[in-house]
Amino acid sequence: MPNHDNEPSRDGSNEISALSNTAAHLLRCSPTDTKNNTATHLNQYIKQLQTACECLSPSAHESLACFFAIIEEGLGLLIDEKRALTKDESSFLQKIPDILSEYVLIPGSRIPDAKFLKHLKNKYWIRPISIDEEKVLLELLTTSSPVTSAPDETPKTTSETTSEHLSKLIIEPNQALDTAIFEDISIDAEPTLDLDSFSKDIDFEPDTANTSKNKEDIIGSMSPGDGNAHRETTFEKNDTRSDIKPDQQINTLTITEQQQELITLICDELDEVIEDDIHNKIPVDIDITELNAHLINIAELIERISNAIDMIGLEGLGNSCRLISTNVHLLAIEKVNLEDAHKSLIEKWPTLIRLYLKDISNTTHFSDNATFSIIKYLADNLWPDPLTGNEKLKLQSLLTSPQLKEEKSIRQNTARTEDISLELPDDVNNELLDALLLDLPVQTEEFSNALQNMHTKNDIKYLDVAQRVAHTLKGASNVVGVKGIANLTHHLEDILEIQSKAKKLPSTELHNILSDAADCLETMSEALLGIDTPPDNSQEIFQDILDWANKLDTEGATQKQSPNKSRAQTSPLLAFKTDTPDIPSDQAANHISSVHSLAATLRVPVTLADELLRLSGENLISTSQVHEHIKTIKARYNGLKTHNLSLQKLSFNLEHVIDIQGVLNNHQIAVDKKFDPLELDEFHELHEMSRQLIEIAADAFEITQLLEKDIDQLQGLVLSQNKLQKESQSLVLRTRMVPTKSIISRLKRGVKQTCRQTNKWVELEVQHNNTQMDSEVLHQMIEPLMHILRNAIDHGIEPADQRTDQGKNPTGLIKLTFTSEGDRIKIEIKDDGKGLDTKKIKDKAIKLGIINQQDEVDLASLHMLILSSGFTTQSEVSHISGRGIGLDVVNSQIRELKGSLEINSTYRKGCTFTLMLPVSSFSTQSLLIRVRRSTHTFSNRGIEEILYPGHSIIKNLKHKTSFNFKDKTYNICLLEDLLNLPEDRRDIERETRPIILVKDDMGGNMAILVQEVLDSQNVVVKSMGPFIPKIPGIIGATVLGDGSISPVIDIPELLQSASVIPTQFKYPAASTPKLTSAEQQTSYILVVDDSLSARKSLAQFVQDLGFEVRTARDGMEAVSLIEAHKPDLILVDMEMPRMNGLELTSHIRANADTHDMPVIMITSRSTEKHRVTAYNRGVSHYMVKPFEEDELAMHIQGALKSA
């Protein structure tokens, strides 16, 4: 057969095809092509383009000559630059054959000319046309008609045609444009080309009043108006309508379902514009600057409406909107105040457009009333550029005879990377994007559920539900510009539509492909929300969907086969069950809209919610500090009350003494001889002062009672405020709460994928999936849960034949349960597989050296061994498991979230993983425990019970201290040992201490002796900051009520890292250097002075030096303190009641235990006699008040060092 590929075709189709191949080669090779090859291909492109243009008969398309000349000039510039093409330049050349093809497909049309003109304006092309050149081409296209030669005239050649028009088109840089050609054309405005204005079927009457304006003769003219007075608009009619009145002109239209839906959407948006006083109404008192911005916003809104109208194919209405937008822009450029008539004119546009669309929607008839209203509106002389005579006729033709065409697109065969892109366009509308992101998770889940119900229930109604959801997703994604979701749902909708029209359920093979596509859509949704990465297999899935869509286009719908014995062909690998009520198929269609109609919602940025939560925590801390200060004030008030009672008692005693003394004195001196002293009392000034003192004491007591009432009321207000603060915090926390079902779809996809990889059948049953949980904690738990589920399928669930032999259901069961327990969430993952083989676990643990052969290990501890790093009983490594890395990471992630993990298993019955997690990571319930003189905060994670003295007995067994409680034996240790604190030299009876029972992360039990449990509080945990390294056992810090900062300690983590844990399952801990005795111990100094001010000032000075300090008022009190706790040094005054400093020093030196204790005497006596006496009694240093602080500090350091 002869080869016709290189022969010129009659219509130029072969030449256009060859040109397209060359352009495709340039696009494919442009990034890596060499300079010589690029020049070769470009020269070939020029020749092929010239041949194609000649075959298209330039005599019929004289504009092609101009277009070819411009493109040839650009190609020449590229050849001269001797470089590879950019992607944009290659794309420019690839589009030219597509435009040329339209000359062949629609001969005689000027639509290709308009597309060529727009294409040549591409800013990425090396030689884009200028505004002046565009105007020349526009004049050429709008004033010329296809050339036909007269019978006696020789047709012009291509070169002649080219030369004739290039003389007008190619303008030298310094040559001025012919002003006659561009008269009244706005240079700043961008002319638009109405494609149907080239139609030669309408005979226009010239408008003699506006001859200069009609040069371009296009609908989208940007020429300003002539400023004449407002005229009545007259409509010229062509000969086909001259005998019909406007209200009698009726047309019939055929509108598709998709076009009707678009019309409804646009009408709804116009209704919102009409009702919205902000976007369309012009305020009365608006200034010029704000007016210009407001008009530009209105113009841009109208432009967006026109773009949506173009999607329907209503060219006349789209051009009308652009004319309105242009005029509003011109009003904004004029920067003048608008009269009421202008404002009223502008505000009418949405009503007119809506009336036309409503008229179009009436499929029985279409009248021209709305058309004439729009033309009259555009011809109003109040506009800067009103519609004129010929322009009215052109627009009238387009509006009265709308052509709604739905082109049948050819389905693509190959999936490209850009087809599944999730990149958002640069000009994305954020409001539309937010609405899409709000609905996307619900819609993708509904789509997946509809497919699942359709297959399991064999109900074709769910097929219609899935189709409607796919259609909704396609429309929403197209509006926002998410190409990947729009393309995938477009072809999914086509497949479902074919099946729905045939009333056939998809085959199992097609259902699996649709299910994969549903999973891909859900992953894409999560990627857009920022909680997951885009799916890796999206292009592969899209290719499968394309293949099936093309197959159904040619072969028709598939049919689901009846179940047979081959389960692998008919049954899904994963069955899903939840306690959420199922939605009947007849109600599923309305379910999506009803989800959001239950309550109004408001989208709040996460950063704002976090900031509100932070402020709520700070308020909570401040309130607790106020409450703590009130407690302190009340304690001091109680001291004041006791003091006032003592004062009142002393006042009474003083009065009694004065009265007795007065009687005795009256016996000696008679005031009046008429009265006996017993008959008349004599009062002097001392009596008066004692009476006043009693009254003052009584008044002070009353004031303290009033003060007590005020403090009680204040405390009540603070408690109420604290309650409100907690409620506020709870409400703010709810903004971060999400139902656990939000992650179920992702877990279901992971289970489904694992089932396919292992070829096992599993039913996943989810219970209580509406449990609320902190979104941050929940999303961080996705991977740990996914890993446990994969392990349950791979390690736990047996193959179907093995399960059948054991009398089990061939389909394995995994139950995932979420339960709220107080401030914690319990997640339970239970399977009915083979469970854990404890013998294998123990043998592997002995082999790894985790335990010894002779160790007695209980069952729970053996189960927890699988959490060890590198631990696995699998002999083979697969792509799912067997490497020994996973569960240790899962356990670490759970511990980082302040959670715990527990494992229970019964061999051949199944295994249960129980996770306990906090509802929120913001705060935690904690115990405040006194440790020496400090208060420490301990998270309640792992704490099972608090026991006070008397519950049981502490015993010493085999050189280990143990504690028995409820038939369990607990290893016991001191909290100070866990914290590596120095040994307390005071004798402490351990039997009088509280005990905290704790379960560590390895399942072991521990009893911890603490000094004192002060309180239980819900504290706000704050990060230690980036500059403090991670300290084992410390999860953060909190601010206590007294304003002090306390570390928040996690006891299970502390047990895991502490060296005192008597368990064989402890992970190796980093060695901690031992502190010297001097570093471990803080010196204890006793200050003895009878003066309160001197005693306090001296004690503060010693405390500032970093020593532990206690005080005594005299020698007798000091002796009792020394017997209770021996100090390292004593600071003593000389003169004191009961026992002075000299006597105290003699007592210390006479006692063997305190004989070497340093004693520094500080006194006001400065004579040598006092000094010698002090040294003779045994004083180490003698100092005279007032003393130098540096000197005293030097003596203290020296005395402690020598001691």
Burial class (CB in 10 A: 0-12, 13-18, 19+), 678: exposed
User: Which segment of 94-103, 505-514, 743-752 scores lowest on mean pLDDT?
Assistant: 94-103
Give the CATH number of the domain where residue 856 resides: 3.30.565.10
User: Which segment of 298-307, 399-408, 866-875 scores lowest on mean pLDDT?
Assistant: 399-408
pLDDT at 149 over 70: no
Name the one residue in this structure whose structure tokens are 């432009």: 303
pLDDT at 596 over 60: no
Question: CA–CA separation, 1039 vs 1037, rounded Å?
Answer: 7
User: Amino acid identity of 15?
Assistant: E
Instruction: Examine the domain organization and report whether 1060 and 1116 are in the same domain.
Output: no
400 falls in which pLDDT band (50, 70, 90)? confident
User: Amino acid identity of 217?
Assistant: D
User: Amino acid identity of 956?
Assistant: N
- Pairwise pLDDT comparison (915 vs 234), residue with the higher score: 915
Q: What is the dihedral of CA 487, 489, 492, 498, to 10 degrees?
A: -100
In a domain, 472, yes or no: yes
Q: What is the dihedral of CA 319, 324, 325, 327, to 10 degrees?
A: 120
Instruction: Examine the domain organization and report whether 454 and 350 are in the same domain.
Output: no
Per-residue tokens: 386: 């009103």
* Half-sphere exposure at residue 112, Cβ-oriented, CA atoms within 13 angstroms: 23
Instruction: Examine the domain organization and report whether 330 and 251 are in the same domain.
Output: yes
In a domain, 222, yes or no: no
What is the 3 state secondary structure string of 377-420?
Answer: HHCCCCCCCCCCHHHHHHHHHHHHCCCCCCCCCCCCCCCCHHHH
Per-residue tokens: 814: 């995994």
Instruction: Examine the domain organization and report whether 1015 and 1136 are in the same domain.
Output: no
- Pairwise pLDDT comparison (910 vs 8), residue with the higher score: 910
Instruction: Examine the domain organization and report whether 560 and 457 are in the same domain.
Output: yes
pLDDT at 590 over 80: no
Q: What pLDDT sits at residue 573?
A: 61
Question: CA–CA separation, 770 vs 764, rounded Å?
Answer: 16
Instruction: Examine the domain organization and report whether 161 and 20 are in the same domain.
Output: yes
Instruction: Examine the domain organization and report whether 538 and 612 are in the same domain.
Output: no
From 685, 701, 734, give the residue that closes a domain: 734
Q: What pLDDT sits at residue 182?
A: 31
Q: Which domain holds residue 804?
A: 759-904
Per-residue tokens: 363: 């499929």
The pLDDT tens digits of the residues spanning 152-177 come to 444 444 444 444 444 444 433 333 33
Give the CATH number of the domain where residue 942 resides: 2.40.50.180
Give the CATH number of the domain where residue 681 resides: 1.10.287.950
Instruction: Examine the domain organization and report whether 1031 and 1105 are in the same domain.
Output: no
62 falls in which pLDDT band (50, 70, 90)? low
User: Which segment of 524-528, 553-557, 792-796, 970-974 scores lowest on mean pLDDT?
Assistant: 970-974
Per-residue tokens: 494: 């086509």
Name the one residue in this structure whose structure tokens are 């339960």: 819
Per-residue tokens: 190: 């961008």
The pLDDT tens digits of the residues spanning 990-999 come to 557 888 888 8
Q: Per mean pLDDT, which of 150-164, 403-417, 521-535 is the most reliable?
A: 521-535
pLDDT at 237 over 60: no
pTM of the model as a whole = 0.51
Give the CATH number of the domain where residue 1087 resides: 3.40.50.2300
In a domain, 585, yes or no: no
- Cis peptide upstream of residue 1186 (ω within 30 degrees of 0): yes
Per-residue tokens: 578: 């939840």
Q: What pLDDT sits at residue 717?
A: 85
pLDDT at 457 over 90: no
**C-alpha pair distances (Å), 1163 with each of 507, 1088, 1140, 1141, 1144:** 105, 11, 11, 9, 14
Q: What pLDDT sits at residue 92?
A: 86
In a domain, 299, yes or no: yes
Query: Residues 914, 967: contact at Cβ < 8 Å?
Result: no
Q: Which of 336, 764, 312 lies closest to 572 in space, CA to CA?
A: 764
In a domain, 205, yes or no: no
495 falls in which pLDDT band (50, 70, 90)? very high
In a domain, 573, yes or no: no
With a pLDDT cut of 70, the percent of the chain lying above it is: 75
867 falls in which pLDDT band (50, 70, 90)? confident
Q: What pLDDT sits at residue 858?
A: 77
Number of domains in the chain: 7
* Half-sphere exposure at residue 290, Cβ-oriented, CA atoms within 13 angstroms: 8
Q: What pLDDT sits at residue 79?
A: 85
User: Amino acid identity of 324?
Assistant: I
Instruction: Examine the domain organization and report whether 270 and 352 are in the same domain.
Output: yes
Instruction: Examine the domain organization and report whether 996 and 1137 are in the same domain.
Output: no
Per-residue tokens: 952: 């049981």
Number of H helices, E strands in the chain: 39, 26
Question: CA–CA separation, 1007 vs 960, rounded Å?
Answer: 13
SS3 666: helix
In a domain, 125, yes or no: yes
- Pairwise pLDDT comparison (214 vs 620), residue with the higher score: 620
Q: What pLDDT sits at residue 1175?
A: 92
Q: What pLDDT sits at residue 574?
A: 63
Question: CA–CA separation, 322 vs 302, rounded Å?
Answer: 7
Q: What pLDDT sits at residue 662?
A: 61
Distance from chain centroid for Cα 886:
27
The pLDDT tens digits of the residues spanning 679-724 come to 555 556 676 777 777 788 788 878 888 888 888 888 888 888 878 8
The pLDDT tens digits of the residues spanning 1104-1136 come to 888 889 999 899 999 989 988 889 999 999 998
Question: CA–CA separation, 228 vs 226, rounded Å?
Answer: 6
SS3 1036: strand
**C-alpha pair distances (Å), 1071 with each of 93, 869, 974, 1051:** 70, 20, 20, 19
pLDDT at 192 over 70: no
In a domain, 6, yes or no: no
Q: What is the mean pLDDT of residues 217-227?
A: 34
Q: What is the mean pLDDT of residues 464-478?
A: 88
pLDDT at 920 over 80: no
pLDDT at 135 over 90: no
The pLDDT tens digits of the residues spanning 816-855 come to 999 988 778 899 999 999 988 888 888 888 888 888 877 7
Instruction: Examine the domain organization and report whether 793 and 825 are in the same domain.
Output: yes
Instruction: Examine the domain organization and report whether 1050 and 1117 are in the same domain.
Output: no
223 falls in which pLDDT band (50, 70, 90)? very low
Q: What pLDDT sits at residue 831?
A: 93
pLDDT at 569 over 80: no
The pLDDT tens digits of the residues spanning 665-691 come to 555 554 445 555 555 555 566 767 777
Please provide the average confidence, as pLDDT, over all residues in the chain. 75
Q: What are the contacts of 156-165 at 24+ separation with CB within 8 A?
A: 156/59, 158/53, 158/54, 158/58, 158/59, 158/65, 161/58, 161/59, 161/62, 161/65, 162/58, 162/65, 162/66, 162/68, 162/69, 165/62, 165/63, 165/65, 165/66, 165/140
Q: Which of 335, 382, 377 lies closest to 355 in space, CA to CA?
A: 377
pLDDT at 376 over 70: yes
Q: What pLDDT sits at residue 36?
A: 62
Q: Which of 941, 957, 859, 946 lies closest to 900 in space, CA to CA?
A: 941
Q: What pLDDT sits at residue 143?
A: 56
**C-alpha pair distances (Å), 301 with each of 98, 304, 305, 345, 1075:** 32, 5, 6, 16, 75
The pLDDT tens digits of the residues spanning 527-552 come to 888 878 888 889 999 999 999 999 88
